[in-house]
Amino acid sequence: MSPPKVVLVAAVAENGVIGRGGTLPWRLKSDMQHFRRLTVGRPVVMGRKTYESIGKPLKDRTNIVITRDRGFAADGAIVANSLETAMDMAREDARKRAADSIAIIGGAGIFSDGLAIADRLEITLVHAAPAGDTFFPSIDGKIWRETARMRQDAAPGDDADVSFITYERVRA
């Protein structure tokens, strides 16, 4: 069995915003369904602030929370003190589950560090430009190649139109 792919999963506004005040600056029911399809049955790696903004472990996924706070504990989640340790835990969990991927789901610092090890990006481009204080790192076209894009008009429960975009790492 080949090693699991490392996939960054993020919703990003046209202006790069991914958060405001510790929350998402939009409501996108269709993106939540897309996120669920990409992550259920897989380990998910996130920072402490992302975990706290969600408020509970994500169901049907192994939740791995990265924090430098050695006293931090999260019911229903595994705590790691570095991305490297979290990824070791996630690979072992993926092997046990026979999962084909590991999802890195935020926040900004974890995304920045995760770009170096990711195989694929699953980006929901939110066709809006909300005010925000947390941003997704830029996607370098020399490193990432867009391989799929599907635009979707805002459905009931969505604040904006979205495009689901897949990027694959360019292999030299």
86: domain CATH number? 3.40.430.10
Q: Which amino acid is at 120?
A: R
Q: How confident is the model at residue 171 (pLDDT cuts 50, 70, 90)?
A: confident
Distance separating alpha carbons of residues 140 and 18, to the nearest angstrom: 18
Region 69-91: what's the mean pLDDT?
Answer: 96
DSSP label at 69? -
Q: Which residues contact 36 (CB under 8 A, 6 or more apart)?
A: none
The beta-strand segments (E) located in 48-98 are 62-66, 77-80
Asked if pLDDT for residue 1 goes beyond 80, the answer is: no
Contact by Cβ (8 Å): 164, 34: yes
Give per-residue pLDDT as tens, 109-166: 999 999 999 999 999 999 999 999 999 999 999 999 999 999 999 999 999 999 999 9
Give per-residue pLDDT as tens, 21-61: 999 999 999 999 999 999 999 999 999 999 999 999 999 99
DSSP label at 99? -
pLDDT on residue 169: 98
pLDDT on residue 96: 96
Domain enclosing residue 16, as ranges? 5-169
Considering its fold, how many domains does the chain have in total?
Answer: 1
Instruction: Compute how many other C-beta atoms are within 10 angstroms of the C-beta atom of residue 62.
Output: 23
Cis peptide before 107 (omega within 30 of 0): yes
Query: What's the first-to-final CA gap in the chain, in angstroms?
Result: 23
Q: The whole model's pTM is what?
A: 0.96
Distance separating alpha carbons of residues 85 and 112, to the nearest angstrom: 16
pLDDT on residue 172: 67
